[in-house]
Amino acid sequence: MEATGSRGALQLRAPRTDGAPLYDMAMTLAQAQRDTGAWLVINDRVDVALCTDARGVQLTAKSLDLEDARLVTDSLAIGVSVHDLEEGIAARLAGASWGVVSRAADQSEHRAERRAARKSERAAGAPALTSDKALALIAQLTRGDMPIVVIGGVVPQHVGPLRRMGVYGIAAIRGIWDTENAARAANDYLTHYDRDGSG
C-alpha cells in the first residue's frame, strides 16, 4: 500500500477467516489506507467494509447481489466478477463500480494456459497475454463505460497491451505476493503502467 499510494488498492481476501480476526485485519489495513491513500477493498463482506471504512467491496458468488448491496450502502465502491458480455452489461446497468475479468475464459483453460505460459516463459521470456476467447471478452467489455480490471497471471509485461485495449487496471496476486520484495514488485507494475500504456 505504501508502494502504490493512491494509485493502488489492496483487496483483503480471507475466505476462511471470520469474526474478530477478519475485523482486526481490516482495521489494520484501514489505517494503512488512511496513511497511504491506497484503497482497501474487502472481498465479499459488505458489513466488514462498512464497519472499517474501507473504500470498496468485491462481491463474490456467495455475496449479496449487487442490487442488494447498493440498497445497503451508497458509500462503497462495489466491484463484481464478470464472466461474459451479458454479465458485464447487467453489472454496468446495476451500478457496479468496476468489473473483474479473468485472463482465461474458464478455469480449465486457465490451468492449461498457466502450464503453457510457464513453458513459454522458460523458452522465450514473458508469457503470452491471454487466450483468444478472453481477449475478445475483454475487448467487448472495455468498449463500455464500466472500468475493467483484469486478473489471472498478469505479469508486468502484460500491463501495456492491456492498457492499450482499454483495461482500467490489473489485479496481481502471485506477481507481488510471491516475490522477495513486494514494494519493488508493485513498483514494477506501476512502471509498466506508466511507460507502456500510451503507445
What 3-state DSSP class applies to 122? helix
Q: Does residue 53 share a domain with residue 103?
A: no
The boundaries of the domain holding residue 176 are 82-199
- 18, 49, 80 - which closes a domain: 80
Residues 137 and 102 sit within 8 Å (Cβ to Cβ)? no
Query: In terms of domains, do 93 and 74 share one?
Result: no
Show which of 19, 51, 80 is a domain's final residue: 80
Longest pairwise C-alpha distance within the chain: 51
Q: Are 44 and 2 part of one and the same domain?
A: yes
My answer on whether 39 and 4 are in the same domain is yes
Say whether both 8 and 43 belong to one domain: yes
pLDDT tens for the chain, residues 1 to 199: 999 999 999 999 998 898 899 999 999 999 999 999 999 999 999 999 999 999 999 999 889 999 999 999 999 999 999 999 999 999 999 999 999 999 875 444 444 544 555 455 445 555 566 578 889 999 999 999 999 999 999 999 999 999 999 999 999 999 999 999 999 999 999 999 998 655 4
Q: H-type helices in the chain, by residue range?
A: 19-36, 46-51, 66-72, 85-93, 107-124, 132-141, 156-164, 174-177, 182-196
- Residue 11: give its domain's CATH number: 3.20.20.70
Domain count, the chain: 2
Residue finishing a domain among 30, 46, 80: 80
